[in-house]
Amino acid sequence: MIPATILALGDSTTAGTPEFRSPVEAPPNGEGNVESQYAYWLMRSHPEWRVLNHGVNGERTDQIRVRFARVIGSLSPDVVIVIGGVNDIYQGHPAESAERELDAIFTLARNAVPCVSIVAGSILPFDTATADQNQRMRAVNDWIRDRVAHHRDMIFCDTRRAVAHPKDLDRLIATADGLHPTAEGYRLMAEALAPAILRALDKRGRQ
């Protein structure tokens, strides 16, 4: 069986911060606690998948887009997971700018890889977010959900809810620094992403 290639694209919450540095940040294989990344947990539960961790700590969506444009043509993934926007919000940018860049990333994926499927994840919470930051994150997440509803090649995954405290969706259920999930949080992300990836692979097979 030829393994499915899953490209995990994003910022720190894809890279595995604070305990892991992705292979993009620390070539060739990354460094740190390998369990502190959702890519590890996806491949553990689905050995037939090859999940490429292309997360970089601190990047905004415009920076993710520029980096993605340089590599997408050579990777030819079956599925692209996109989770980004938290640094845009953290740095004071409006929701609309993150939405524009995310839309450009989705378009890049479609144009570069025939029949690719896209899993769009929601922005994760962080414990120190202000009311305004949470409002802007919710606005971006609502936009992502709506965008997915209008594109047959996309699947939405509520990664925010997956790692949020059940009694407070604006806080992480497991965090060491108040900003990022622990290894257990990344496992919960993978648990939410796996069925979305399966649906995306099914969509790709029917295109």
pLDDT digits 0-9 by tens, 68-113: 999 998 888 999 999 999 999 999 999 999 999 999 999 999 998 8
pLDDT at 196: 97
Lowest mean per-residue pLDDT among 1-5, 50-54, 144-148: 1-5
**pLDDT above 60: residue 150:** yes
pLDDT at 69: 94
Into how many domains does the chain fold?
1
pLDDT at 85: 97
pLDDT class of 205 with cuts at 50, 70, 90 = low
State both tokens at 35. 């369990």
Partnered with residue 53 across adjacent β-strands are: 8
Nearest-CA neighbor of 64 among 113, 22, 20, 115?
22
Quick count: other Cβ atoms within 10 Å of Cβ 138?
17
pLDDT, averaged across the chain: 95
pLDDT at 206: 46
pLDDT at 207: 47
**Which secondary-structure segment (H or E) carries 32?**
strand 31-32
Percentage above 70 pLDDT, the chain: 97
Q: Do 138 and 97 contact (CB within 8 A), yes or no?
A: no
**pLDDT above 70: residue 4:** yes
For the segment 9-28, the average pLDDT, to the nearest whole number, is 97
pLDDT at 1: 54
**pLDDT above 70: residue 15:** yes
For the segment 176-194, the average pLDDT, to the nearest whole number, is 96
The CATH number linked to 23 is 3.40.50.1110
pLDDT tens readout for residues 103-141: 999 999 999 888 899 999 999 999 999 999 999 999 999
Q: Give the separation between CA 163 and CA 180, rounded to whole angstroms.
A: 10
pTM, rounded to two decimals: 0.95
Q: Which domain holds residue 147?
A: 4-206
